[in-house]
Structure 1
């Protein structure tokens, strides 16, 4: 099925300059990264940009978009290679070697708010990945390896903000495809 989806994407016209931008959105712990990586592989190792890499800490959950636009989307739209630095959650700063994203025929944007209203006109495909709240919670704790009271407080605040965003943005209803992140089944 993933190969069929990749073929579908490549048969669609690009809408971000010459790039077919695929957004993989959904709440934390739903399985977005895993799905995005599988689709990227089926697309011939298409680059994947993770929105978490562009956040300036916990409080930048939805306000990072200007950074994404300037460093990634705008260059890709113009047929140029995008360059950005990944946020280092331990150092609490953007650090390390710059990451580059060439203007390939398909590029994936993965993370919470990746399919937000502002970018929808330029998306070739909008995917929303979801899973039951309990499973998402378990995955987030296992993924981040932090079961502390402080982390749980951040995660609760993060999830409440996600819920508000998805309700206002109508993200799932506007998606082209809904994926059950618990089973990776196709809902639509």
Structure 2
């Protein structure tokens, strides 16, 4: 979608097939209602959720995950541990690099990451109907802030989903690729200035 040359077109073919089979699609209201139902089910089954807690380490006994140690030092025992952090932190930090094989090590040392995306979300005090929910502007050389676009940008108009904005208003989201080198060494003040530009 954004011109990533190392992304297989096969993913789009799968996606179109899933849409055709009614096995994939857009969830009205976004993913929040789905996540909320999962939370409710989990709590009804006796589960407990702790918010604003950071996992520092996964506790392993006999090569099986048995719990986690939080940043405040608390240990939480578990029958199952499901890692949802990024792979690098999970493998090299939380598991202390003890379960790395050559393929994983090669991937993290040699694979080039995707170009980061910048997302700008607008809440507009007006209804802006649109025939197309996604508009992609494919162009090279346009400048947004400090970013010179290589592949253009996309604009998503969520007017087709009444749950995304109050009546008479519109949510619009713009996304574009921005090289990491522009953001990597920005000081806090510079970062905020660039975001507010």
Superposition TM-score tier, normalisation by shorter sequence:
under 0.3
* TM-score (ref. length: structure 1): 0.22
* TM-score (ref. length: structure 2): 0.22
Q: Which of structures 1 and 2 has the larger relative contact order (alpha carbons within 8 angstroms, sep 6+)?
A: 1
Q: Could you say which structure has the larger radius of gyration?
A: 2
